[in-house]
Amino acid sequence: MSTAGLARTRVRRADIVAAALELFADKGYLATTMDDIGRAVNVRGPSLYKHVTSKQDLLVEIMESSMATVLRDHAVAVGSTDDVADQLRRAVEAHVRFHARHRLEAFVGTRELRHLSDGNRAAMAARRRDYERGFRVLVERGVAEDRFRVGSVRLTTYSLLDMGVGVSVWFREGEEFSVDEVAYRYGDLAMRLVGAA
């Protein structure tokens, strides 16, 4: 009776993080309880503390690992060519691909920034600014090299970034567009925005 052999008995840390991600995205960090997360992996809330030191830790892990992913993808995209227009196009494609593939991480990343502890938030905010600077630098160089024509580097950069971030809100795998299709189309839109089309 007691060992009825329900579902998974063994809880891995990765399962906990995955469950937390989904709950944070759905209900928000503050509204998600350790019991909620436990329930999603078939244990009681307190049992989670064998694998995790705090709820905050889960948020930090989610944010840091996804930030590492975008930064790496961005570096690869920009490093793959010397042509500014191609660099910007590929950077936008990578940006969009990330926001489509890792919707929830992206969503939580921007939505829950304020619920990181002070130290963690400062560090994450700095990395986010670095990421944004990467795009601004590309737009600036494109203008300097006479490849782009923009009204304002700053506004154009914000637009490129915000368009891509928006993808994480509506994108669903297996619907009208594939990840690649969305990436390519946003790459085209980016070229129009900078006047390089």
Partner DNA sequence: CCTACCGATCGGTAGG
Binding site partner of 9, from DNA, its own copies, none, Cβ cut-off 5-8 A by kind: DNA
Question: Which has the closest alpha carbon to 165: 120, 115, 113, 119?
Answer: 113
The correct pick among 8, 12, 28, 75 for binding its own copies (CB under 8 A) is 28
d(CA 197, CA 195): 6
Binding site partner of 83, from DNA, its own copies, none, Cβ cut-off 5-8 A by kind: none
Contact between 120 and DNA by CB under 7 A: the answer reads no
CB 112 within 8 A of CB 20: no
Which residue lies nearer to DNA by CB, 55 or 103? Answer: 55
Q: Which of residues 108-167 bind its own copies (CB under 8 A)?
A: 111, 114-115, 151-152, 154-156, 158-159, 161-163, 165-167
Binding site partner of 35, from DNA, its own copies, none, Cβ cut-off 5-8 A by kind: DNA
Binding site partner of 159, from DNA, its own copies, none, Cβ cut-off 5-8 A by kind: its own copies
CB 102 within 8 A of CB 167: no
d(CA 77, CA 93): 8
Which residue lies nearer to its own copies by CB, 21 or 167? Answer: 167
Q: H helices of the chain, where? A: 13-27, 34-40, 55-79, 84-101, 103-111, 118-144, 153-170, 179-193
CB 25 within 8 A of CB 40: no
Contact between 117 and DNA by CB under 7 A: the answer reads no
CB 175 within 8 A of CB 69: no
* DSSP state string for 42-73: TS-GGGGGGT-S-HHHHHHHHHHHHHHHHHHH
Residues in contact with DNA, shown as a per-residue x/- string from 34 to 53 under the rule CB under 7 A: xx--x---xxxxxx-xxx--
Question: What are the residues binding DNA (CB under 7 A)?
Answer: 9-11, 31-35, 38, 42-47, 49-51, 54-56
Question: What are the residues binding its own copies (CB under 8 A)?
Answer: 27-28, 30-31, 111, 114-115, 151-152, 154-156, 158-159, 161-163, 165-167, 169-170, 176-177, 182, 185-186, 188-189, 192-193, 195
